[in-house]
Amino acid sequence: MEFRDYYKVLGIERGASEADIKSAYRKLARKFHPDVNPGNKEAEQKFKEINEAYQVLSDPAKRKKYDELGADWERGISQEEMMRRYAREAAAGRGGEAHFAGGDFSDFFEQFFGGLGGGFRPGGPRGGFGFSSEPVRAPDLRAEVLVSLRDAIKGARRRLELMAQDECATCGGSGMTTTEQRQGKTRVIHSASPCPTCRGAGVLATPRALEVTIPAGVTDGTQLRLRGQGGRGPRPELNGDLFLTIRIEEQPPFAVSGRDIRAELPAWDYEAALGAEVTAPTPDGGRIALKIPAGSQTGRTLRLRGRGIPARGKETPGDLLYELKVLAPTDMTADERALMQQLADRRKARGVSDPRIEMLGRS
């Protein structure tokens, strides 16, 4: 496969920030989106390349590997991953324990990873092997949390129950236990076997409970980043992050559109005709008095500016909108029907035009 320079694909410098990457991606995605370029195969291919580049560069771990290994970023793996591979192979029955008669650390990797493929490359940049000896950052976690519309407006505290992939404390994330000694600066491994705690995985599924603050002004799809609350690493600075996606629970009669909140407001025909002050519910559980202007029709919108989901960061607050739905009474008494008929007769005598006149004129 031809190597693609993802930075050139997005038209950014190698030192671009996360914001620069996101901005470049959005600009190009809008330009080459298939919906904007129907039937254009070149634009479709370009859109795929843009997405591929963004998937790598927007992920800190993938971007780090890409920057270090270039074209080999997907094949190159860390020393820790190599050790886990050995432990998994051993646990699966390809030797429960390995013994070395004085062989050094590189002998160990050559014996057990030379034939496993994926990332072992003799002649690599670090000590003759294609891996990094730097500690590996623990994996990030991703989760969704469902919040009420009221919590989105006012903010809230929520308790989350998660399953994290934490580094195994027994083997330090390597996936194996060893007997070894040092001879000067050389590390000599005499035997190695799969870690009995994690069974060679290097990580353990660990339940975790978190108290999370949902800030006021979140919208559906908002992503919160909780640094250090992902998988546990060997040191606190190597902990992964927790990416929490907000989902807003449906709350009839209200519907959310971005930061705007909409609701349908029923009104009797005489309220719409004469004008009226009515009471309506609010998304936070309260009530509000609304004035319906005389002569209002179905579909008229009463807008309360800034009363939707509040501002967060540089964004502006949303509006609260009530759309009128004019209703005709269906359970009238005889007197009420007589009054309604009297109104109809008077309007007809006054020569009020047929409301269907425009439709009839087109037929």
Q: Residue 229 in 3-state DSSP?
A: coil
Please determine, for residue 308, whether its predicted confidence score (pLDDT) is greater than 80. Answer: yes
Q: Specify the pTM.
A: 0.55
Confidence of residue 233 (pLDDT cuts 50, 70, 90): confident
Confidence of residue 156 (pLDDT cuts 50, 70, 90): very high
Q: Tell me if 335 is assigned to some domain.
A: yes
The total domain count for the chain is 2
16-25 mean pLDDT: 92
Output 95 or 159, whichever has higher pLDDT: 159
The rounded mean pLDDT for the chain is: 80
302-329 mean pLDDT: 94
Q: Tell me if 233 is assigned to some domain.
A: no
Note down the domain range covering 41: 1-74
Q: Tell me if 227 is assigned to some domain.
A: no
d(CA 359, CA 134): 77
Percentage of the chain modeled with pLDDT above 70: 77
What pLDDT, on the 0 to 100 scale, is given for residue 201? 77
- The domain that holds 69 is classified in CATH as 1.10.287.110
Planar angle of CA 172, 174, 177, nearest 5 degrees: 80
Sequence-distant (≥ 6) Cβ neighbours of residue 318 within 8 angstroms: 258, 259, 260, 261, 306, 308, 309, 310
**Among 233, 242, 252, residue whose Cα is nearest residue 213:** 242
What pLDDT, on the 0 to 100 scale, is given for residue 92? 57
Q: Tell me if 156 is assigned to some domain.
A: no
Percentage of the chain modeled with pLDDT above 90: 40
Phi, psi of 215 (to 5 degrees): -70, 150
Q: Tell me if 112 is assigned to some domain.
A: no
Q: Tell me if 139 is assigned to some domain.
A: no
Please determine, for residue 335, whether its predicted confidence score (pLDDT) is greater than 90. Answer: yes
Count CA atoms closer than 13 A to 24's CA, side-chain side. Answer: 22
Domain final position from 74, 99, 125: 74
